[in-house]
Amino acid sequence: MIASLRIQKLATIEDAEIRFGPGFSILTGETGAGKSIIIDGLKLILGEKASPELIRTGEKEAAVEAVFRLPGGQKPSGDAPFSEDGELLIQRRLAGDGTGKAYVNGVLVPVKRLREIGQSLVDIYGQNDHVFLLQTENHRKYLDEFAGLVPLGDEVAALSQALRSLVREKGQLEMRRREREQRLDFLSFQVREIESAGLRPGEWEDLSAERHLLKNAEKISGLVDKALDLAYAAEGSAAAVLAALRDRVRELGRYDQSLGAFEGPVGEAAITARELGDLLIRFKERQGLGPERLEEVEARLNTIEKLKRKYGETTEAVLAHLVKVKEEHQDLLQSQEKLADIEGRIARGLEDYRARAGRLSRLRSEDARKLASRVEKEISTLAMKKARFQVRLETQPPDALDPASVRDSGLDGVEFLISPNPGEELRPLRKIASGGELSRIMLALKTVGKEKAGLKTLIFDEIDSGIGGKTAECIAEKLRDLSGAHQVICITHLPQIASFASDHYRIDKSVERDRTYTTVEPLDFEARVEEISRLLSGSRITPTAVENAREMLHHNLKPPQRKDKRQ
């Protein structure tokens, strides 16, 4: 429950504090006195977007703070810093430049944390919230909350979203299928072309060197012949001369060791001359391949040159391109396998969705009848005794579903139908209900759902629009009944509703020295008689109005039956 609310420098409020009781509290005041500022302050505490225009004229900053008391064991949602004494202090500060800060029990938190916390603490229903009942999506949400089906509904929604994601992914893959097939053909051609060439690293350089030799074969042959004669073949060749010289040096070595020392080097030179001769012979034999070999080398170089123009500047670059192409080719093949995998996952996901959504639909159908019966009973106590209420489900057959048509909400469209008067057929609530009827139906829904609402504070901001007389009294009784399970705070213009409250606060506006001030004052019994007299007769309070107000309070001030223990 909200234990206290303090507002400073907000609109026309300089500094006001309200200490709320645990039951049914009423706020009244003249039109324009500033009742909406109280709601604005509460909304700021609950994390709503703040506007610098809310700050009081001439001030740099506005502040709002609220103390919540939570029963033992209850903790707010949103991972709030929580004190062991069960109190939660929420503070919000607004600066003129549009910035601001939020605190929970003295700890600085993001404003969005206030929204998370507020969801479990307060539920505000205002004049414009009739829109809730005019949107059929909210009918389904209410039914699921009433029936305790929100977790199962979340599972169905998650399955639906996963299915749609897979369907989109499949569609993208299928759209690219032709491009992928064309690309696969192109890559396959490149792989075949490069692999069939059988390239090896350094081959271009080796063949270029061989082509240079083959093109100069005649000149090289003459040079080889001359070199052979000098080194090995002819009389007086280097090999023969060096062999003879080696023998003479060996003989001289017997007489002079210094000359004998040259026997080894001269012998090695003779061996080198013979090895050179052998090499020249083999080289000449290779040159004997002639024009045929040159044609082969030229053809091979042309093949490599063609691949280099298409795939890289060097043989190594062409081979690197081959590796890259093969990797891409493999990836594309795997994408085909991925498409098949996605199709399998879609089939399994659709089967799971049908099962979960079918179960959700069956449970909704069972609880829709219970909800209709409960709401009909409640609205009968709100001056709609002969009204009929129904929850209509339009269910899509599970077998008719395809993966693209699944919905987060499951198989069912849910809509509230009503017949306000005897003899009229049931029709969609969104089409025929008046403002006063919408207020009563919303109050009936709040009453029916109070067990599901936990221990939230329920705030009603002038929900008495379009009603009066006996209907207003019925609503007042219902609000008082609600206060047995919840703290109820209501802003109203109706004396019938005001007379049922356990606590009454009057909001006044005054002007002092050209400055407007809005104040909030708790009323004792006599002050309540005066305020309710004003609500009954206007600015001119008559003795009859006073007498009626006193009688209303004596008659209506009965404590609600407590449905739970609240701090």
pLDDT tens-digit map of 262-277: 888 877 887 887 887 7
Tokens, residue 162: 């996963």
Per-residue confidence (pLDDT) for residue 82, from 0 to 100: 58
Mean pLDDT taken over the chain:
85
Per-residue confidence (pLDDT) for residue 183, from 0 to 100: 83
pLDDT at 486 over 70: yes
Amino acid at site 88: L
Contacts of 374 (CB under 8 A, 6+ apart): 448
Residue 410, SS3? coil
pLDDT at 151 over 70: yes
pLDDT at 567 over 50: no
Q: Any idea which of 113-117, 137-141, 192-196, 335-339 has the lowest mean pLDDT?
A: 335-339
Q: Which residues does residue 427 pair with via DSSP β-bridges, in sequence order?
A: 418
Q: Of all residues in the chain, what percent carry a pLDDT higher than 90? A: 43
The CATH number that domain 1-121+456-567 falls under is: 3.40.50.300
Helix ranges (DSSP H) in 49-149: 111-118, 131-134, 136-147
Q: What confidence category does residue 303 fall into, taking pLDDT thresholds of 50, 70 and 90?
A: confident
Residues in the chain: 567
440-454 per-position pLDDT tens digit:
888 888 888 876 656
Burial of 122 (0-12, 13-18, 19+ CB in 10 A): buried
Q: Which residues does residue 262 pair with via DSSP β-bridges, in sequence order?
A: none
CB 439 within 8 A of CB 467: yes
Choice between 266 and 15, residue whose per-residue pLDDT is larger: 15
The single residue listed with the structure tokens 């082509």 is: 211
Q: What confidence category does residue 11 fall into, taking pLDDT thresholds of 50, 70 and 90?
A: very high
The single residue listed with the structure tokens 């609109």 is: 11
Per-residue confidence (pLDDT) for residue 250, from 0 to 100: 82
Q: Any idea which of 152-161, 283-292, 509-518 has the lowest mean pLDDT?
A: 283-292
Residue 339: what are its φ and ψ, rounded to 5°?
Answer: -60, -45
Per-residue confidence (pLDDT) for residue 565, from 0 to 100: 44
Residue 99, SS3? coil
Per-residue confidence (pLDDT) for residue 274, from 0 to 100: 80
Domain regions of the chain by residue span: 1-121+456-567, 181-331
| Most confident option among 259-263, 308-312, 473-477, 547-551 | 547-551
Helix ranges (DSSP H) in 55-176: 111-118, 131-134, 136-147, 150-175
